[in-house]
Structure 1
């Protein structure tokens, strides 16, 4: 069986993401390994999210990507292997991502908030940790990173909750929150959220805002001023999206930023970092 991900590719690239990926703010030498990590993650995500590929095939392809991280393979996994080897970066970040995508193939429901954050620990937190390692940042910044990355992941889940259910029968909204609010999983198939489902989304958006409060000082912990600026932008974009989820229905209304909206928010966040003092 072929192990290349090309015929399962979604065609989505970094420009279609909610948040900046290896933007021009970052130094050129840092953008290449970050893009190698992104392409690896994109390929693995496309495999896990393919609507018709059998689970066994998905798991086999993800296993082949894992082998590529040891130098035994080609394509995006081998490219990432080379990028990590050149910089002495721990492959654990990439392996954690693969664990998350394997969960996406085998697990479709999450019982509570803690289990959802456990998923984010594999699917989101390693992304920020990898970027920090590429920049040689102090791992003392990991708790703030983890809170921000978890918030970004939950925001994506909330925005895409209807599509995830309809296309993949995958529900990231915790079952206990659905039950507490009197909502049903089947509500996600509707063209508009029920009042009960709106309450679920609002509760989860507020928990996400709490994560953003925890990560509010993250940019200030980063020595690299360019990376600190990008983190500040990402944090501000996340705050805006979390606030929108309190008032907008992701089943019937647009939550994602339009390009101009994102640019204005980014400019304001960047202005706030221009004269910020870098950490000692």
Structure 2
């Protein structure tokens, strides 16, 4: 009996530590998500941090410089994270320790040191809000698509349909995870489709902003067929990057893709308005802040090869206030 009490107390402490660590990761790396999460009630807010914290740890493994560790090592780390996640979400009845964490390699990445507590927070969030666990499998599959040497690896996407295979796991399922967390009890197909579309809209906005940074990692997330329609191929992109110049051809291609991205936000809006009041304000604020990145790209004349546009803290606050007031942000 005493051992059970001590074990339960330790588990509770681990969950609390996980939420604190996930909060710190969200505040440091996901400023838009963090600002929007603060508009939610505490228990929902913590759930957003847990989901973001887990995604961030995996993303940090994927985005390590190619020299350290080798891609095979990164794939092995993702395997360990997946094993540990499954052990946490589907624990053994005899209370065995989490597989993959009891014998951590000495050279494990810094983010992996926090993994056990963050996974405890993830499990707490999944149980509290009944989040479908298969969404984590889809997320990890897309993360493997970024790692050379895996069977899933892709670093070029020819069409929007090919890119959607990646963004389903990297972004759409995040929207699906958020539905129960935001207080939607029985989401219809329209709400689910809208949530997935909004997740993919956020992802495409990132791709448009980070063209140069992704190219430095030898990745092209913008569909190459779409770029080719404007006279842009990979050699063209690399010349632009080397010279820190965004050519007129590339600017026109980006303008086209910004229009595609804006349509995603437009189609997602009805699902945002269908959310419970407090959740609606939070997601509307996040969408407004993310959507404004497109405006910042345009205000920079679509120059993505010489700078990484940012939305200032003051402007994010203004956009959030407008969204909270019920004003449609686009």
Query: Please, what TM-score do these two structures have when normalized by structure 1?
Result: 0.86
The number of residue pairs the alignment matches comes to: 262
In structure 2, the residue matched to 1:193 is: 246
CA distance in 2, matches of 1:15, 1:270: 23
- Unmatched runs of 5 consecutive residues or more in structure 1: 1-10, 274-280
CA distance in 2, matches of 1:172, 1:261: 28
In structure 2, the residue matched to 1:19 is: 32
In structure 2, the residue matched to 1:264 is: 318
The correspondence for 2:274, drawn from 214, 218, 221, is 221
- Unmatched runs of 5 consecutive residues or more in structure 2: 1-23, 89-97, 102-115, 148-152
CA distance in 2, matches of 1:252, 1:242: 16
Contact 1:187 / 1:197 at 8 angstroms: preserved in 2? no
Alpha-carbon deviations, 1:156-202, whole Å to 9, x = none?
Answer: 01111101111x11110111112111113224523121111112211
CA distance in 1, matches of 2:130, 2:323: 32
Q: Output the aligned Cα RMSD.
A: 2.2
Offset of residue 20 of structure 1: 2.2
Contact 1:245 / 1:255 at 8 angstroms: preserved in 2? yes
In structure 2, the residue matched to 1:173 is: 222
Offset of residue 87 of structure 1: 4.0
- State which drifts further: 58-67 or 87-96: 87-96
**Would you say 1:33 and 2:47 are equivalent positions?**
yes
Offset of residue 66 of structure 1: 1.0
In structure 1, the residue matched to 2:165 is: 118
Query: Please, what TM-score do these two structures have when normalized by structure 2?
Result: 0.73
In structure 2, the residue matched to 1:240 is: 292
The correspondence for 2:198, drawn from 148, 158, 173, is 148
Moved over 4 A (4+): none
In structure 2, the residue matched to 1:55 is: 71
The correspondence for 2:83, drawn from 54, 57, 67, is 67
Higher Rg: 2
SS at match of 1:272: coil
SS at match of 1:251: coil
SS at match of 1:215: helix
